[in-house]
Amino acid sequence: MKVTGVDVCPLTGATVDGGWPQGHEPQENLHTLVIVHTDQGLQGFGSCFTSGKLITGAVELLWPLLKGQPANEPERVSEMLHQSTFWQGRGGSVTHAISGIDIALWDIMGKACGQSVSRLLGGNYRSRIKPYGSIL
């Protein structure tokens, strides 16, 4: 199963009252989805807390490295992308895009195996969690 394409989908929307101190307008793009496509028709979805324009630029940089890579080897592919873009600097939009791609590849692997990503990563650790609220 090989990677055949990547789409970038910027998300927009205002914050709810009391969410962020300064708030955000409905047209602002702070979060972006990354959709990775395979030659077997599977799609994986990943997310980045970065604007769509920055992720689009980073994906254009990464595409020659990512095209044709095995979609069922997320750890190897992500490490290769990090190693191959070392000179672009650590952090920033390139690292955010690699993270979105990594999440999408894990999503593809889960779909291909019929398993949740949590199971692929070692299974459930707890059956219940204690919720909390935060207004950071």
Encode the chain (136 residues) as per-residue pLDDT tens digits. 999 999 999 988 766 665 666 666 767 777 899 999 999 999 999 999 888 999 999 999 999 999 999 999 999 999 999 999 988 777 889 999 999 999 999 999 999 999 999 889 888 888 888 888 876 6
Strands 29-38, 3-12: pairing is antiparallel
pLDDT reported for residue 27 = 73
For the chain, the domains span: 2-13+29-121
Helix axes 52-66, 74-84, angle to 10 degrees: 100
pLDDT reported for residue 19 = 60
User: Distance between CA atoms of 114 and 111, rounded to whole angstroms?
Assistant: 5
Query: Which CATH superfamily is 2-13+29-121 part of?
Result: Enolase-like, N-terminal domain (3.30.390.10)
